Amino acid sequence: MHNRDSGRLYAATDLVNFLECEHITSLDLQDLVSPLPRAEVDESTQLIQQKGYEHEDAYVQYLRDQGKVSVWPRHLD
């Protein structure tokens, strides 16, 4: 969820979050106005994040190899 000149921009994650828990949507909206405190990043968090990125990269490569991805946003490469 982001504020843009033309209004608010929602991502698919925002919709899923709303369907699962309306409270998280209210926190996201509050965070747009006044940023909420963030948890400190530690080694285990960085490891989990890196493993997630590696998994996503491998899956996208699998889809490309299968010919199932013909367009991919450049900022995600």
Provide CB contacts within 8 A for 64, sequence distance 6+: 72
What pLDDT is recorded for position 32?
92
Residue 53 lies in a domain: yes
Instruction: Give domain status of residue 38, yes or no.
Output: no
DSSP state at residue 39: P
3-state secondary structure of 72: coil
Asked if residue 26 belongs to a domain, the reply is yes
Taking the CA atoms of residue 40, residue 18, residue 25 and residue 55 in that order, the dihedral angle to the nearest 10 degrees is 20
Average pLDDT per consecutive 10 residues, the chain (77 residues; last block may be shorter): 88 93 94 91 93 91 86 61
Contact 58, 69 (CB under 8 A): no
C-alpha distances in Å from residue 20, one per residue of 16, 32, 37? 6, 20, 22
Range of the domain at 27: 2-33
Q: Are residues 47 and 72 in the same domain?
A: yes
pTM value?
A: 0.53
Q: How many domains does the chain have?
A: 2
